[in-house]
């Protein structure tokens, strides 16, 4: 039979690539090397000079609030939370938040920021999640600018990048004072 007379054969359906949907899970000590490498890639050697790093040097992160983002089981992002207090109000400083360059624009960063904030505030013992970051990224997620200069850092910081998430919507404008250690009840 010539090729021209063969009955038509249905084409194999094209393989549909799996959706690259990020998920999050709590971090474990086994993730430490991944997180360290990711932060080095995302922020470079200058990360140790950042003012937020100085805050974390003084007040340790809460490892119970470390989250890891994964895509198809592969770790691709992370976020840390540091318990702090400002003006007598307990809360957290969020950061560093980082997504590996190979996994960006999939929603991992926003998922990490939203989820870690939800989990922290659900504890009920802290009232805000503060961070230093880009308004364009965080304000659509619910962060609000703080009153310029109200929150005092142990180093230089652009006050227009100091943003706050809180259920009490007047807190972003009113919170004032140096960053101090979480106050035990
Ligand atoms: C910022 C970062 C965490 C975003 O991670 P991500 O997983 O790609 O974030 P998402 O997928 O949730 O969101 C991506 C969207 O945010 C936008 N975006 C990323 N960084 C932004 C920024 N600094 N300002 C405004 N928009 C930003 C992207 O352009 C993208 O827009 P699109 O959805 O319209 O395409 C990641 O780029 C990163 O690790 N950067 C280096 C470290 C850093 O700057 N961390 C933040 C410190 S505050």
CA 164, CA 151: separation in Å to the nearest integer?
A: 10
Structure tokens at 79: 């976020």
All domains of the chain, ordered by start, with CATH?
23-181 (3.40.630.30)
**Span of 51-60, 133-142, 168-177 with lowest mean pLDDT:** 51-60
Q: Dihedral, CA atoms, 19, 27, 121, 82, nearest 10 degrees?
A: -130
Query: Which position has the higher pLDDT, 85 or 49?
Result: 85
Q: What does DSSP assign to residue 180?
A: E
- Locate tokens 């003006």: which residue? 87
Q: What does DSSP assign to residue 122?
A: T
Q: What distance separates the 2 farthest-apart alpha carbons in the chain?
A: 88
CA 120, CA 104: separation in Å to the nearest integer?
A: 24
- Mean pLDDT score, 68-93: 98
Give pLDDT tens digits for 112-159: 999 999 999 999 999 999 999 999 999 999 999 999 999 999 999 999
With a Cβ cut-off of 6 Å, ligand 1 is lined by 42-43, 77, 97-99, 104-110, 133-134, 136-137
User: Which residue's C-alpha comes closest to atom 46 of ligand 1?
Assistant: 97
pLDDT at 156: 94
Cα 110 from chain centroid?
A: 7
Output the pTM of the full model: 0.92
How many whole angstroms from 185 Cα to the centroid of ligand 1? 36
User: Which residue's C-alpha comes closest to atom 14 of ligand 1?
Assistant: 105
CA 117, CA 112: separation in Å to the nearest integer?
A: 8
146, 163 in Cβ contact below 8 A?
Answer: yes
- Mean pLDDT score, 23-40: 98
Structure tokens at 17: 């690539």
């Amino acid at each position: 039979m010539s090729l021209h007379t063969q009955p038509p054969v249905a084409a194999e359906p094209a393989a549909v690539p799996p959706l690259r949907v990020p998920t999050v899970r709590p971090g474990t000590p086994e993730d430490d090397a991944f997180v360290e490498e990711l932060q080095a890639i995302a922020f470079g050697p200058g990360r140790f000079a950042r003012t937020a790093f100085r805050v974390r040097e003084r007040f340790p992160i809460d490892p119970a609030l470390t989250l890891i983002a994964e895509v198809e089981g592969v770790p691709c992002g992370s976020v840390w939370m540091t318990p702090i207090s400002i003006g007598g109000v307990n809360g957290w400083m969020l950061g560093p938040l980082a997504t590996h360059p190979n996994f960006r624009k999939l929603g991992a960063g926003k998922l990490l920021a939203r989820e870690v904030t939800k989990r922290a505030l659900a504890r009920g013992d802290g009232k805000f999640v503060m961070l230093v970051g880009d308004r364009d990224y965080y304000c659509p997620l619910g962060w609000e600018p703080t009153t310029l200069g109200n929150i005092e850092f142990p180093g230089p910081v652009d006050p227009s990048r100091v943003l706050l998430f809180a259920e009490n919507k007047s807190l972003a404008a009113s919170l004032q004072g140096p960053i101090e250690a979480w106050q035990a009840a």
